Amino acid sequence: MTTHSIEYTTKSSTPEILLGKSLAELTDWVKQQGQPAYRGKQIYQWLYQKGAHSLADISVLPKKWRENQTGYSIGRSHIHYCSIAPDSTRKYLLRLADGLIIETVGIPAAKRLTVCVSSQVGCPMSCDFCATGKGGFTRNLKAYEIIDQVLTVQEDFGERVSNVVFMGMGEPLINIDEVVAAVKSLNQDVGIGQRSLTISTVGLPGKIRELAQHKLQVTFAVSLHASNQQLREKLIPSAKYYPLDTLLDECREYVRITGRRVSFEYILLSGTNDLPEHAQELAKHLKGFQSHVNLIPYNPIDEADYQRPSKKAIHQFQNLLKNERVAVSIRYSRGLEADAACGQLRSSRI
Ligand code: SAH
């Protein structure tokens, strides 16, 4: 924790934030303000469906009352900057109430609009191939700051968001309570199906089991990236405290508890983890496991020396896994030219 986050804690205790509250909670809040219960439903609809940024925006509320409310905040951020890649992916730098900046990505496709949300300001994991970790860690995001990212992208595209992936800045399972609260609200209040929400984690001891206890129906992805413990520790420093076998055991438990399969993400780094022996070793771990492997060809970042493998090597790796009956696909990231692709998000570029 930095001094910044301490300052935020004291600040955030003053205004009451409305975004993230359920219909019942908003109804309670308006009653406390001396308003009739149905005003709660009006605020709820304006917050989640009509994109209100302040109570003053909510024209159905009594003018005098909405203009005189203090001690609350709707909880929306401001778009500080937006860059658009040739493939129409938009990367946003959003300014939070305490002045910190986070990155969010909007990825349009036929009949889909996916938002890649951040769960933290920065990231403490320091994975060797990822730009976010190189910029350090500042603080966890609150649930409303995650929901806001989705509403902001929805508003900017003028289109409903269909999918949300927790693959922006940060490690969601360090911030599990706020992430679970955001998932529930995105599902119940914003109206996005749980299966269209993806939580991606590098894995932390005990945290995958803890997430499983919430019995969410979200898509669950684990960033594996290596076929053995030694290699994984080189790429992901925190893996030292989390043996690969223990991680895989917890993933099996996740499947047992939730009835949902696990996706494994495997970044392909030329000459490092993309050799035929790595594919064989990975297949051994995953044989008979209710899972799916997503191969992610490395997206270059300034701070690391890795190379993306050739198309031939990528397909060879995929075929070796297929031959071992491992379900596998290749996921090329979008937004590369706007530095908006997986691993390219960082807080320092403003
Ligand atoms: N902390 C979470 C979510 C953020 S990263 C996690 O680790 O899963 C989302 C995905 O992008 C992860 O699989 C991550 O390992 C991957 N990634 C990070 N840097 C990358 C890069 N330079 N190229 C391609 N994928 C990268």
DSSP result, 143-164: HHHHHHHHHHHHHHHTS---EE
pTM: 0.93
Tell me if 298 CB under 6 Å of ligand 1: yes
Q: CA-CA distance, 201 to 259, in Å (whole number)?
A: 18
Task: Give 132 Cα–ligand 1 centroid separation in angstroms.
Answer: 9
342 is catalytic: yes
Give the pairing type, strands 291-297 and 262-268. Answer: parallel
Dihedral of CA atoms 120, 125, 128, 134 in degrees, nearest 10, equals: 50
- 241 vs 303, residue with greater confidence: 241
Tell me if 202 CB under 6 Å of ligand 1: yes
pLDDT over 50 (residue 110): yes
Minimum-distance ligand 1 atom for the alpha carbon of 301: 22
Which architecture, in CATH terms, is 78-338? Alpha-Beta Barrel (3.20)
Q: At 335, which helix (H) or strand (E)?
A: none
Q: CA-CA distance, 49 to 208, in Å (whole number)?
A: 32
Give me the phi and psi of 215, to 5 degrees please.
50, 45
**pLDDT digit string, tens, across residues 330-339:** 998 887 777 7
CATH of domain 16-73: 1.10.150.530
Task: Give 129 Cα–ligand 1 centroid separation in angstroms.
Answer: 8
Domain ranges within the chain, ordered by starting residue? 16-73, 78-338
For residue 347, what pLDDT band results from cuts at 50, 70 and 90? Answer: low
Three-state DSSP class for residue 312: helix
Q: Whose CA is nearest to atom 4 of ligand 1?
A: 167
Tell me if 129 CB under 6 Å of ligand 1: yes
Q: CA end-to-end span of the chain, whole Å?
A: 22
**pLDDT digit string, tens, across residues 34-83:** 999 999 999 999 999 999 999 889 999 999 888 888 888 999 999 999 99
Q: CA-CA distance, 223 to 95, in Å (whole number)?
A: 28
The DSSP call for residue 89 is -
**pLDDT digit string, tens, across residues 247-286:** 999 999 999 999 999 999 999 999 999 999 999 999 999 9
Three-state DSSP class for residue 121: strand
**pLDDT digit string, tens, across residues 207-244:** 999 999 999 999 999 999 999 999 999 999 999 999 99
